């Protein structure tokens, strides 16, 4: 499996999009896609938990030799039943770490987040990214140290984007 420095988030996004997987990018990758000057070691997504979508996701994960990240390093493949659930399935793939989140810490899943997302086209791949205000809200709720460190950067970015909108008028 690749080390975090070998993570190819762009290729993971392209492969998810090409496979027809419905998902929303959250976490550090969402911050980067909004223009935050940060780095991320993985791709966090909230996927639609329908049987059809999870089947597409599972097929892609099998192609990427995905296995569950766990201390014993038993290289367990992800289970479709886990991907259909509300929990987090933390995976290693040939392209780097991929965290498939059924719901966020506050219980919101794909259906609840889709209206708080925006479509992005990047290198031919089209996908949804949680909007910046919602990302700030999510990072505020998690309470993790790394998220508290990211918050000032995200807030400054939101202010900068708001200022640039005002100047464009």
Q: pLDDT for 44-103, tens place per residue?
A: 999 999 999 999 999 999 999 999 998 888 889 999 999 999 999 999 999 999 999 999
The secondary structure of 50-101 as a DSSP string is -HHHHHHHHHHHHHTT-EE--TT---PPPPHHHHHSSSEEEEEETTEEEEEE
Average per-residue pLDDT in the chain?
Answer: 92
Residue 4 has pLDDT above 70, yes or no: no
Q: Which residue has the higher pLDDT, 80 or 166?
A: 80
């Amino acid at each position: 499996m690749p080390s975090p420095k070998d993570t190819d988030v762009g290729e993971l996004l392209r492969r998810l999009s090409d496979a027809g997987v419905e998902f929303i990018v959250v976490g550090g990758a969402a911050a980067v896609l909004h223009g935050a000057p940060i780095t991320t070691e993985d791709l966090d997504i909230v996927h639609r938990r329908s049987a059809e979508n999870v089947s597409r996701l599972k097929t892609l994960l099998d192609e990427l030799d995905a296995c569950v990240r766990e201390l014993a390093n038993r290289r367990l493949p992800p289970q479709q039943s886990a991907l259909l659930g509300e929990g987090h399935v933390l995976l290693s793939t040939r392209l780097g770490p991929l965290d498939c989140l059924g719901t966020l810490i506050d219980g919101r899943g794909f259906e609840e987040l889709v209206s708080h997302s925006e479509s992005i086209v990047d290198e031919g791949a089209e996908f949804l990214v949680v909007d910046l205000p919602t990302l700030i809200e999510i990072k505020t709720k998690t309470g993790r140290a790394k998220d508290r460190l990211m918050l000032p950067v995200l807030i400054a970015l939101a202010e900068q984007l708001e200022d640039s909108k005002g100047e464009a008028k």
